[in-house]
Amino acid sequence: MELNWSTFLLEILNFLILLWILKRFLYQPVLDTIANRQAGIEQTLANAQTIKTDAEALQSQYESRLKQWNEERDTARETLRREMAEERERQMLNLQEALAQEKEKARVIDEKERFDTLRKYQEASLELGARFTARLLTHLAGQDLEIRLFDLALRQLDTLPVDRLNAIRMACEETPEEAEVATAFPLKPAHRQQLAEKLSSLLDMPVNCHFVEDSELLAGLCITLGPWVFHANLQAELKSFAESAHEPN
Amino acid sequence: MGNDLNSAQLFAIGQIQVTLTVATTWGIMALLGLLSWISTRKSRTHPSYLQTAVEGIVSSIEAAIANAAPQHSKTLLPFIGTLWVYLALANLIGLVPGLDSPTRDISQTSALAILLFFSVHWFGIRSQGLKNYLRHYLTPSPILLPFHLISEATRTIALAIRLFGNMMSLEMAALLVLMVAGFLAPVPLLMLHVIEALVQAYIFGMLALIYVAGGMQSQDLHQQKEVDKENS
């Protein structure tokens, strides 16, 4: 066993060459590859971290927006509930008002119906009463009643208003004609004379009277002078009584 | 396996003798160079099985270096890694019939030891400068300088002798058993050879790492103490 200097030196040289070969073809490429892979992994991790950060930001934003939406929804729901309550209140008031109007209308209609019914009953009663009275007076009418009606006619002639008398007078002056006096029973001459004088004194002009009998008058008289007709008989009174049922109250 | 303690001379170029040890080393160099080129010529981000294996080996070596010298793992990787890879293959090459392990040659182990000797100083000086590096021989006391120098020499000699002695004795024992017991008897001994070869390569590389890292980090510790002193 002895040291071979050639081997010693060549081995030193060999190792240095091997060192260079492995560094050039093994260590450096492998380390570069690992570094690249590590850089890629770190880049991926950084990207993932960025994505995670963005996702968290988005999540936070979405949660904030969701919270805002919930608040807006609650506010809108509260507003809607309040508006619905107000609308319901308004509708209830309108309904109550309409109901009151309907009630009033129904009350008015009912009252009108009752009034019409009452009026119809009144008319029927008056007509019935008029027929009954006419039939009764047909049997009761006589000379005595005729005389009392004659006296009543004379008193009513005395109470005629002046302007009415002037109008009758003017009509007689324009078309002078005789007065037609219809009576249910024949008038006595004295009464005929009294009536003619009464008319002449009222109209301040001579008035010729033409006396006729009309049994339909039942009792009393009817004076027709031009356009003026003066009734003082039962038929006219009963007719007036029956027509009064149709007059408005 | 030869039974001579000196490697056989194959040829000579003038005064330079090319022995079997040197030729075997060339073969190992060629093999390692070819494997390295094949495994790394098409490096991809998504590696193949071969690339994965190579990356695993390199990463493991770097991790082992980082355990001893965390700040200098990239710097020491080529030297320490080459020592481990070369010694593992050189120790195992003796199992091939007709070949001898280069590490059973004292000239070869001495060459590695002397390389390591200079590498310790080279890395130490490159790391902290000549003055700071030489200062550590005087710490903690200049009295210890002779002991530092003796330690440098003896550990270098010990590295060379340890590897040579182990590999030479291992092959010699296997040869003796083969001569005495027959063809199949030394198989368990050859299996022990595999383990021993890997262990010796690991020990040599680890000691080299510790020596180099010690030379670099002794200056780191010294500087750290000075920084702490200035801060206080």
Establish if A156 belongs to a structural domain: yes
Q: What is the ipTM of this complex?
A: 0.88
Rounded average pLDDT over A227-241: 84
Domain assignment present for A193: yes
Number of domains in chain A: 1
Tokens of B96: 């091939």
For an interface test with B, the pick among A2, A5, A10, A23 (most B C-beta atoms closer than 10 Å) comes out as A10
pLDDT 10s digits, A112-143: 999 999 988 888 888 888 888 888 888 888 88
Residue A227 maps to a domain: yes
With an 8 Å Cβ cutoff, is B15 touching chain A?
yes
Tell whether A94 is covered by a domain: no
A181 found inside a domain: yes
Of residues A61 and B231, more confidently modeled: A61
Instruction: Let me know if residue A82 belongs to a domain.
Output: no
CATH number for the domain spanning A147: value is 3.30.300
3-state secondary structure chain B: CCCCCCCCEEEEECCEEEEHHHHHHHHHHHHHHHHHHHHHCCCCCCCCHHHHHHHHHHHHHHHHHHHHCHHHHHHHHHHHHHHHHHHHHHHHHHHCCCCCCHHHCHHHHHHHHHHHHHHHHHHHHHHHCHHHHHHHHHCCCHHHHHHHHHHHHHHHHHHHHHHHHHHHHHHHHHHHHHHHHCCCCCHHHHHHHHHHHHHHHHHHHHHHHHHHHHHHHHHHHHHHHHHHHHHC
CB spacing of B81 vs A7 below 8 angstroms: no
Any domain includes A205: yes
Cβ contact (<8 Å) for A7 and B17?
yes
Instruction: Write down the pLDDT at residue A57.
Output: 95
Q: Which of A2, A3, A4, A13 to mutate to test the interface with B (most CBs of B within 10 A)?
A: A4
> Could you tell me if residue A54 is inside a domain?
no
Per-chain mean pLDDT for chain B: 84
Query: What are the tens digits of pLDDT across the range B158-176?
Result: 988 888 888 888 888 877 8
Q: What is the mean pLDDT of chain A?
A: 88
Q: Which domain holds residue A221?
A: 141-246
Backbone angles phi, psi at A177, to 5 degrees: -155, 170
Which chain B residues are within 8 Å of A36, Cβ to Cβ?
45
